[in-house]
Amino acid sequence: MFSTSWNAPSRNLTCGHWQTEAEAEEDLVRFLKQSQIFVVYRQVDGEPLWKHHFQQFHGVRADLLLLPDSKLLEYGWQYGAIVIEVKRSGEKIGPGLNQALDYTNAAFYIDGGVAVVPTFAFLFPVPKQAEALASIMAHQHLGSAFFSHDSLHLYCGESRILSLLDDGEVRLGRMDIGRRLGAR
């Protein structure tokens, strides 16, 4: 008989120990600012670039908008801006992924009205995904962001995009995801 006696984290729920979204966001922002590889914007308003005919028009607000700083560019980052939607621990990931998908289809406004269209949208704190959902996420440039061993990891589907280690080391991952044409 199949046994599930060990407690693996559910891929369908946010992970970690944060009781509130605010606590999760504070810890994430603290770590990102310490890394000094992003310019961090919080609670950034945006608007969709297009909508489906059955959707009502509404603005969006990303919890975090990250622009690469010169240090990250020196590491070889050439993939633009990132948005992150933050949730508290134990939440279902479906609604947050829908928000993140909306963010990849939006322009966010920063200093002086500059519009930024993100390349990737991540949901935090979410473990690395697998199988069918990971494939859909990779194609849509959606990802999961989570802490593990005092480091922050950003995955797009099953591919690591970026890891920020607690000692300041930056590791870039595979970036050729979501570019296939035709049948999959």
Query: pLDDT, tens digit, for every residue of 49-103?
Result: 987 777 677 789 999 999 999 999 999 999 999 999 999 999 999 999 999 999 9
CA distance 140 to 127: 17
- Residue 177's pLDDT is 59
Question: What are residue 11's phi and psi, to 5 degrees?
Answer: -75, -15
Per-residue tokens: 29:
């922002």
70 contact partners, CB below 8 Å, separation of at least 6: none
The mean of the pLDDT values for the chain is: 89
Whether 15 shows a pLDDT value over 70: the answer reads yes
